[in-house]
Amino acid sequence: MHTMITGKAYVLGDDIDTDQIIPAEYLAHDPSDPEERKYFGMYANIGVPEGQRGLPDGHTRFVPEGEFKTEYAIVIGGKNFGCGSSREHAPLAIAEAGAKAVVAEFYARIFFRNCVNGGYLLPMESTTRLIEEVRTGDECELDVEAGVLKNITTGKTYELKKLGDVQPIIEAGGVFAYARQHGMLSQ
């Protein structure tokens, strides 16, 4: 399976924590109910402080007010993305909003595993400080297998770390789907 993701980038800074990605007040919604699940998308990244939203301007909302979906396919983060509490609602919220991947310098391990285990997002790691290279709204292309992010707007290409052993779990749609496909769980 060759995965290519093309779309606009949304840039955040360092130490974006799970409470900023989806504040506790929005956890009352039930992710198993499709009518309520969409609210996780509506409020994705709502807790990111003004000045850090959609860099470089710092004021661009991830999801327009009153809407459930974002126009951004790829979130670009800095260091320690997804730190804070272990809530799996954080990658769910970003995915429910419509983003397909996060590319960050490095992740809090629990956020990375929640992306993988839930099959929510592709968590790619950059070898370059992309938050200083990519701007919110830049059109980008992510080639997962090649481990490359191309900024179509600027023409620059960046090497990413490969997903490695977690790729089959992501491709299966999460850890439970992977376990079912490989006979580890009964159907």
pLDDT tens track for 66-112: 999 999 999 999 999 999 988 889 999 999 999 999 999 999 999 99
- Per-residue pLDDT of 38-48, as tens digits, reads 999 999 999 99
pLDDT value at residue 187: 61
Model confidence at 176, pLDDT cuts 50, 70, 90, reads confident
pLDDT at 17 over 70: yes
Provide the 8-state DSSP code for 48: S
Q: What is the reported pLDDT for 9?
A: 98
Residue 186 has pLDDT above 80, yes or no: no
> CB burial class (10 A; 0-12, 13-18, 19+) of residue 27?
middle
Distance of alpha carbon 114 from alpha carbon 118, whole angstroms: 6
pLDDT at residue 2 in the model: 66
pLDDT tens, position by position, 18-60: 999 999 999 888 888 988 989 999 999 999 999 999 999 999 9
Q: What are phi and psi of 132, to 5 degrees?
A: -100, -5
**Residue 78: closest CA among 54, 44, 103, 104:** 104
- At 86 the pLDDT is 84
CATH architecture of the domain 4-181 equals: Alpha-Beta Barrel (3.20)
Model pLDDT for residues 145-171, shown as the tens digit of each residue: 999 999 999 999 999 999 888 888 988
Q: What pLDDT shows up at residue 87?
A: 84
Residue 1 in this model has a pLDDT that exceeds 60 = no
